[in-house]
Structure formats: C-alpha cells, structure tokens
C-alpha cells in the first residue's frame, strides 16, 4: 500500500464505557433530539441561501487507504461563511432573540423574518451577544447578530489569525483579543457578559450554562441529517471520524446517529490534535479532564483545552474511540486534497476541516491502528470536512498556493453519491 501520509504515530484509545446496547433515552434527548432537530431544520432550511452541502465520494483516497468507501461532507460552501459553524451559532442567536422579544412582548409570535426586517428592532438593538472563538463559531455568531439585528462582541485567543479576526469584524462585531488560550477567552467572555448584561452564545457548556449550547448542537445536526439523506440508498457507513474541539460537534453527530439508527449506528471515532486533547484525556480518565500546555496546533479551530459538559454526557458512552494526530497529518491531508488524483478532483479544505480525514489516512497507514479500528477492505467511512479556506492567507502558507488557484469543485446539492 502506498504511503498515505508521512508516518504520523496516532494515539488511539478505545472507550471502555462505550455502550452499543444503551437505548437513546430521556437523558440523551434532553441534550439533542430529533424533535428539537426538526425545529432547527424547519428554521434553517428557510433561510435565504440555504442549500445542502455536497457529499463527495473520494474513490481515489478510499482505494489508497484500502477501504471500500470514503465519503467527505464538504462544508466549504455553507452559506457565505465557508464552515459548518454557520448552522450553530447563528441559529442560537435567532433562538435567543426570539425568546427575549417574547419575554418583553408576551403573546407576540416571533419569526426569523420579523427579526430580519427589524420589526422588533427597538428590542433587539439593545441586546448584545458575545462568545469566545478561534474563528468559525465567532463568525457565525457575528453573522447571526448582523442578520437578526443585535450587537455583538467576540473574544479571540492571542493566536487567532488576523484574517479570521477581520472576517468576524466584517459582520459588524467588535473583536477583543485575549492574552491567552481559547479557554481563557471563554472565561473572559463570560465575565464581561455578566458585568455588562450581555448574552453568551457559546458552543461549549459549563456549570450554570447549558441551554444555548443545546441550540448550537441542534443546528449542527442538520449537517448530519443531510449526509444521511445523501448516502447511497443501499449503503451506510461502518465508521464516522469527526473532529473534537470542545465536543459539541462530535456530540451532535453522536446523538443524531444514535437516536436515528440505534444499535445499527456506525463506529464513532473522535479526533483531536496531539497538543489539544481534552476529549482523549477525558476518555482515559473517565471524567472531564483539561488538556495541558499552550494548545498550540495548526488545527486552530480544535485548539480547545476544556470539555463541554453537555457534549461529554453523550460522548462518554456514545463514542467508541478517541484518537489524536500530529499537525503534520492535517497539513498532508490538506495538500492531498488540493492535489487531487486520478479519481478525485482537487478540493480546498481548511486545517481544522481535514482532521477527520487526516485521522482516517493516518490510521490506514498504521498497522496497529488499522486493526484496532477495523478499517478493513469492506469499511465504509464518513468524515466531515467542516471548513474551507476560512483564512486564505493561512491556507496558502500551509498548502503552498492560494485557494483560488485550485480549480473549483462543483458545489451544488448532491442528493446521492456513488
């Protein structure tokens, strides 16, 4: 088998608490559920510019990896933000504003269009939303605030790129750079929100802050449902590899597949950078455990040190494996996609967006990891390409050429793939 990536020495932990037979019950549905998902789907699919993002069949990389299928959910064209995060933060802003308007004007129904046209502007203009971000979530919250008519302050860690900060500011948000990590920015945003009467719209949950992160995760579930509907009618994935972060995304994927397919759900592998491995450490210790160090990774959107408590409540028994990879694996995966091959057209994918794919290729090239994960010739793997070149300058520095130099891939809806 040809080398898929440079040797990447993945770390793999098989979750001893994973429970395939456990029913998706009331405690799980209190976090994410199909009932709440249907509300999110009805709302988001009515937004201008909505279209399902494509599901690509990477036949060349599947062949090189020695597996049957490799499906890549390409989020690089999600709305105007180029990231799956558009589904979460903006939806949570809408839900928050609708609740606030209803509380101040009881009995008045509030629709998204009412907020877009400024019908309740006298109320929403006095509301400020805030969050911490490494880039994409903050862009989604800022976009939602601009569209639905409220003010926005976004906190970014010291290492957030200038390009990502400017993209957030482009939606009218004020950006505050914090001298520290993403988790330091989370704490600063929460403290300033309390002091100023602002509303935190975060994708991570912590003691005393649970409701809004549920809305964020329900928005993410739309991406999962789209992928389910786009799979070939007679096929289901045997494995899903999904990037970690604070855990909100893998928990949304886990909960949606668990409730939808039950015991027939695919094996779920949660992927993180070696240097930002809070979910991996939590799995090893059997309880939420922070990562150590400065969280420095090229996968900037995954540079998170503390686990979302809601996410962990699902992943503790719903995730089968936890895996970490080096930065070099993500860089190599970006370049492989940009180059294309005889079967796969070139694609643009961001450094955090390729983490799941990089983990598949990394594991396929490691005999021990391949065997432990069951990546055999009949394996059918789904990964989520969660972002495009959300900072073109960073992309060009990593790949060696600007994203616009790569021939565009057809990006319309893809009902079925082969």
Active site amino acids: 85, 134
8-23: b (≥16 Cβ within 10 Å) or e: bebebbebeebeeeee
Alpha-carbon torsion 61, 65, 66, 70, what sign?
negative
Strand order in the sheet with 55-57: 11-14, 321-325, 267-273, 239-243, 380-385, 69-74, 55-57
Backbone angles phi, psi at 170, to 5 degrees: -65, -15
DSSP assigned state of 405: G
Helix or strand holding residue 58 (H, E): none
Neighbouring CB atoms inside 10 A of 387's CB total 29
Q: What is the DSSP string of 357-403?
A: HHHHHHHHT-HHHHHHHT--TT-EEEEEE-BS-SSHHHHHHHHSS-G
3-class DSSP state of 176? strand
Q: Are strands 128-132 and 69-74 parallel, antiparallel or unpaired?
A: unpaired
3-class DSSP state of 9? coil
Q: Which residues contact 366 (CB under 8 A, 6 or more apart)?
A: 7, 8, 9, 10
DSSP assigned state of 359: H
Whether the Cβ atoms of residue 276 and residue 247 lie closer than 8 Å to each other: no
Neighbouring CB atoms inside 10 A of 394's CB total 19
> Which tokens sit at 8?
């990447």
Question: Rounded to whole angstroms, how far apart are CA atoms 169 and 402?
Answer: 22
Place of tokens 């091959």: 341
Question: Rounded to whole angstroms, how far apart are CA atoms 112 and 319?
Answer: 35
């Amino acid at each position: 088998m040809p080398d898929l990536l440079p040797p990447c020495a993945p770390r793999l932990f098989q979750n001893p608490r994973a429970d395939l037979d456990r029913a998706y019950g009331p405690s799980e549905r209190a976090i994410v559920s199909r009932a709440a998902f249907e509300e999110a789907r009805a709302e988001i699919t009515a937004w201008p510019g909505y279209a399902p993002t494509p599901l690509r069949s990477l036949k060349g990389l599947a062949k090189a990896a020695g597996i049957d299928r490799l499906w890549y959910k390409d989020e690089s064209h999600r709305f105007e933000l180029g990231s799956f995060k558009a589904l979460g933060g903006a939806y949570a802003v809408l839900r928050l504003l609708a609740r606030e308007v209803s509380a101040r004007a009881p009995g008045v129904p509030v629709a998204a269009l009412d907020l877009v046209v400024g019908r309740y502007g006298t109320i929403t203009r006095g509301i400020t939303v805030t969050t911490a971000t490494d880039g994409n979530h903050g862009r989604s919250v800022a976009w939602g605030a601009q569209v639905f008519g409220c003010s926005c302050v976004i906190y970014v860690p010291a290492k957030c790129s200038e390009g990502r900060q400017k993209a957030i500011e482009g939606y009218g948000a004020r950006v505050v750079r914090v001298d520290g990590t993403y988790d330091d920015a989370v704490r600063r945003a929460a403290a300033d929100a309390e002091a100023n009467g602002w509303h935190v719209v975060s994708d991570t949950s912590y003691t005393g802050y649970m409701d809004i992160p549920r809305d964020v995760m329900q928005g993410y579930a739309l991406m999962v449902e789209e992928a389910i509907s786009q799979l070939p009618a007679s096929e289901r994935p045997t494995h899903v590899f999904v990037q970690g972060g604070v855990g909100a995304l893998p928990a949304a994927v886990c909960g949606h597949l668990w409730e939808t397919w039950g015991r027939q759900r695919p094996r779920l592998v949660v992927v993180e950078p070696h240097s930002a491995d809070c979910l991996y450490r939590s799995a090893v210790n059997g309880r939420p455990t922070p990562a150590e160090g400065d969280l420095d990774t090229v996968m900037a959107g995954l540079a998170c040190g503390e686990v979302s408590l809601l996410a962990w409540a699902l992943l503790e028994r719903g995730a089968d494996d936890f895996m970490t990879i080096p930065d070099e694996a993500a860089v190599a995966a970006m370049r492989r996609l940009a180059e294309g091959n005889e079967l796969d057209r070139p694609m643009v994918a961001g450094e955090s967006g390729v983490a799941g794919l990089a983990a598949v290729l990394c594991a396929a090239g490691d005999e021990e990891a391949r065997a432990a994960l069951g990546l055999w010739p009949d394996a059918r793997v789904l990964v989520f390409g969660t972002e495009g070149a959300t900072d073109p300058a960073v992309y060009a520095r990593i790949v060696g050429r600007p994203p616009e130099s790569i021939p565009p891939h057809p990006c319309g809806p893809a009902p079925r793939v082969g």
